[in-house]
Amino acid sequence: MDRATFLRKFEELIEVPSQSLTEGTELEKVESWDSLNVIGYIALVDETFQKEVDPERIAECKTVGNLLDLAVG
């Protein structure tokens, strides 16, 4: 799955309008990026890429692009 497709899935997960996020969007400005959605993100990465992401690295992410790096990269 490419980054753009994963970004659309991520928007769906955190319940924001499609195409409303870019890779540069800062996570602290995304109101619905909360602890429940951190868990949803872990599940999404597990489901999509069969990959485990370290919660400490999620906490270090500043932008949506950082989350995509962690998932796709």
CA dist., res. 49 & res. 60, Å (int):
20
Residue closer to another protein by CB (options 2, 15) is 15
What CA dihedral angle connects 22, 30, 58 and 41, to 10 degrees?
-80
Residue closer to another protein by CB (options 26, 34) is 34
What's the min distance (Å) between Cβ of 19 and another protein? 23
What's the min distance (Å) between Cβ of 17 and another protein? 17
Strand partners, 63: 26
What's the min distance (Å) between Cβ of 38 and another protein? 5
Question: Which residue, chain included where needed, has tokens 């796709």?
Answer: 72
